[in-house]
Structure 1
Amino acid sequence: MFVDDATGKLMELRFVRSESAFTYFEALALYLRQHGAPVAFYSDKHSVFRVAKKDARGGQGMTQFGRAPSELSIEILCANSSQAKGRVERMNRTLQDRLVKELRLGGIDDMAAGNAFLPTFMEHYNARFAIVPARPDDLHRSINLAPDRLNEILCKREQRYVASQLTFSFERQRIMLVETEVTRGLAGRYVETYAYADGRLDVRWKGHSLPYRVFDKDQRVSHAAIIDNKRLGDVLAYIKERQEQQTKPAVKTNSEKIGYKPRGRKPGKRTDFMTDPAIIARRRQALSQQSAVEQGQSYPARLNGE
């Protein structure tokens, strides 16, 4: 939601599933095409607008959304409290009451129909509640940019390090650059990624788009995955197929678990303790000594002079 602080007019209004950089990019694009670039935006301290950590390593001290207005010469001012931006807070309270009732009266119950209804609602609302500003000057500036250039600004841009195999990671995916005369020398360098709201990804080096292939690293369904009911059957079939492909784990013995390794035999002929004459003689001597002790007799002489 964008509200003009001087007049209280609703400048842009949009239903989205979540508050993210991409949804703000979409709303900002609509705002700029219709009204032009303002001097500044006055917002709260949401993480979309400002970097919360003072010692953040990346981002050049600004968020993805903060970078876009900066390139368009638009300042972002963050309020210290809700009371500091009271006009927006009062507008939120009004919309949560009046807009909900208008949607109910219109029988609108989905996001697409709601967004289609919002321009008409804003027109009627502004005609009734907007006030005359103290100064009639419109400080919006026209955006003299090509649509492609504006899309390049209103997107997520990051730098990625290219490994020796011309690959880099992006959003749990492995990106491999197609080997060309340009990409051969990019190993060990940084390329720039342009991620757009519609899901497109553009990889560039000094302004030149680079061909690439995508290898998905996340090939399994995690235990904490959130699955839509409409996709549950396909997901279960996929899980069953993956389970059938997996090999059964080998069951280890306790000796294998603790890392025990049996000792090998010593070199040479192994002694047979059942038929060896010396062993038999020693066994007999030990038995005779035991019998003599039990009968209180003296020990017999040892065999073989022992």
Structure 2
Amino acid sequence: MTDKDLYRLGIIQRVHDHTLLQREAARLLELTVRQVQRILRRYREHGAASIVSERRGRPGNNRIPDELRCAALHLIRQYYVDFGPTLATEKLLKRHGIPLSVETVRNWMISDGLWRPHSRRQVHIYQPRHRRDCLGELIQLDGSHHAWFEDRAPRCCLLVYVDDATGRLMHLRFCDSESAFDYMTATREYIDFHGKPVAFYSDKHAVFRVNGTDARRSGTTQFGRALRDLSIELICANSSQAKGRVERANKTLQDRLVKEMRLHNISSISEANYWVTGFIDDFNRRFARPPKYPKDLHRPSGLSPDELDDIFAWQGQRKLSKSLTFQYDKMLYLIEPSDANTRIAGEKVNVYEYPDGRISFRYAHRELSYQVFDKLACVDQGEIVDNKRLGAVLRLAQEKQDEQEAAGKRSRSKKMPRRVAQERALEALRAINPVLVNPADFVSDIKR
């Protein structure tokens, strides 16, 4: 018996002993007098067992047949084993014509072990992690996509570097997108100003980690290769909560930094990168905290600017053909046919593509002179006849160009790096001096 049945039994016993009126028992049990009389009659005939409803333990009259339940569960196991109850209910009705309620399917799946309710799932506990002890021991970095200039300019990305020990903003850089070249440029600026930290702590963005299942264990991204050459550890967090220091900094910057730039009427990426240094100093003076130990773990790079340029370049290899040519990003490069270069036919040359748009080809630390033939540009057949060495090569390239144009593949390779950061760097150089962009086009004045 339940507690309700025991309470009802006590009231009926008092009515049977003539210590309580029937109308008072009806009021206490929230029943009518006739119902109390029927219960009292059954109690006198069958005793205390008559208080319990005779329908208890019996199947309901509107119960779904067991055959339908077995058929539905069989279909769920066969086709929808990883579906949720709501989606499984929709598919049972749409594909098999079995109308059921979501709660019915949910209870069936729970009892059959096909679904685990949220109340029974293991709770993920994120305990707070203590700060690092010293400045420069762990630097959290992240890219925050936001309308930083509100309606004054398009949306862009802010690369944020935050020290884990102190919460200081170590470096900020605005860019068009979260690409490898942008991270290389920002990290180069960070090292020039602060030095090399012990480790960077980031998310699982494709810039930091090879996300393909085949190459995940052995593959390394270009940014990871650059940090490895500098002896900087790169750690990828499993969740956003793990790098909460930089996530909270992004939330604060999306409020304060946006309003500060509105007051200073800053509406472009170049203006923001020039102005943001003063904001960093004011922010750290107000919100940064001292480290547990005063030692700074940043290390000097110990490398020349040219060596750092090579490290923060997109590196690759190409095999030199017997005619001293190779392809890179759908462009044909022709190495100068000198005596030294003729001996390296068939060897692999190293490719260095810099964030400012320069491209360099080297073999054993020796830079190679080259000419460029763009396969996506229009070809003047009159120039092909003038050069006997390039005639056959350019005719073959022209045929490939016509095939690509007919197939609608008039674009650069998707596997090559995005060059948004390079285009912005070239625009800055072109504003300073156009000769810096194309030095080969410079012609000196003989009269001087």
**TM-score normalised by length of structure 2:** 0.48
Paired with 1:70 and 1:191, the residues of 2 have a C-alpha distance of 21
Are the aligned partners of 2:200 and 2:233 in contact in 1 as well (CA < 8 Å)?
A: yes
In the TM superposition, what are the counterparts of 1:118-137 in structure 2 within 5 Å?
A: 118-137=276-295
* 1:163 maps onto 2:318 in alignment: no
Where 2:343 maps in the other structure, the secondary structure is: helix
Aligned to 2:169: 10
Q: 1:223 to 1:61 in 2, by over 3 A?
A: closer
Deviates more, 1:198-207 or 1:211-220: 211-220
Q: Which of the residues 176, 181, 194 maps onto 1:22?
A: 181
Paired with 2:214 and 2:324, the residues of 1 have a C-alpha distance of 31
Q: 1:169 to 1:60 in 2, by over 3 A?
A: farther
Letter in 1 for 2:299: R
* 1:215 maps onto 2:373 in alignment: yes
Paired with 2:164 and 2:190, the residues of 1 have a C-alpha distance of 15
- Per-residue deviation, 1:161: 1.2
Paired with 1:209 and 1:48, the residues of 2 have a C-alpha distance of 28
Are the aligned partners of 2:327 and 2:333 in contact in 1 as well (CA < 8 Å)?
A: yes
- Per-residue deviation, 1:164: 2.0
Deviations 1:29-67 (A, max 9, x none): 11001110000000000111111124239x962111101
Q: Which of the residues 323, 346, 351 maps onto 1:193?
A: 351
Letter in 2 for 1:166: L
In the TM superposition, what are the counterparts of 1:292-303 in structure 2 within 5 Å?
A: none
Deviates more, 1:40-49 or 1:174-183: 174-183
Q: Which of the residues 194, 204, 223 maps onto 1:65?
A: 223
Paired with 1:127 and 1:186, the residues of 2 have a C-alpha distance of 57
Paired with 1:71 and 1:94, the residues of 2 have a C-alpha distance of 33
Are the aligned partners of 2:200 and 2:235 in contact in 1 as well (CA < 8 Å)?
A: yes
* 1:41 maps onto 2:213 in alignment: no
Deviations 1:174-227 (A, max 9, x none): 1111111221122222100010011111100011000011110112686988xx
Letter in 1 for 2:236: C
Paired with 2:219 and 2:258, the residues of 1 have a C-alpha distance of 38
Paired with 2:276 and 2:410, the residues of 1 have a C-alpha distance of 36
Deviations 1:219-245 (A, max 9, x none): 2686988xxxxxxxxxxxxxxxxxxxx
In the TM superposition, what are the counterparts of 1:130-279 in structure 2 within 5 Å?
A: 130-219=288-377
Letter in 1 for 2:307: R
Where 2:244 maps in the other structure, the secondary structure is: helix
Letter in 1 for 2:212: K
Paired with 1:199 and 1:12, the residues of 2 have a C-alpha distance of 23
- Structure 1 runs (4+) deviating above 6 angstroms are 220-225
Paired with 1:223 and 1:212, the residues of 2 have a C-alpha distance of 26
Letter in 2 for 1:17: D
Aligned residues: 224
Are the aligned partners of 2:315 and 2:352 in contact in 1 as well (CA < 8 Å)?
A: yes
Q: Structure 2: where are the runs of 5+ without partners?
A: 1-159, 379-404, 412-448
Are the aligned partners of 2:319 and 2:348 in contact in 1 as well (CA < 8 Å)?
A: yes
Where 1:109 maps in the other structure, the secondary structure is: coil
Paired with 2:309 and 2:409, the residues of 1 have a C-alpha distance of 37
* 1:56 maps onto 2:221 in alignment: no
Q: 1:83 to 1:144 in 2, by over 3 A?
A: same
Paired with 1:218 and 1:106, the residues of 2 have a C-alpha distance of 44
Q: 1:161 to 1:30 in 2, by over 3 A?
A: same
Letter in 2 for 1:22: F
> Whose RCO is larger (CA < 8 A, sep 6+)?
1
Letter in 2 for 1:34: F
Aligned to 2:7: none
Paired with 2:375 and 2:365, the residues of 1 have a C-alpha distance of 28
Paired with 1:131 and 1:190, the residues of 2 have a C-alpha distance of 51
Aligned to 1:294: none
Where 1:182 maps in the other structure, the secondary structure is: helix
Are the aligned partners of 2:333 and 2:370 in contact in 1 as well (CA < 8 Å)?
A: yes
**TM-score normalised by length of structure 1:** 0.70
Aligned to 1:98: 256
Letter in 2 for 1:176: L
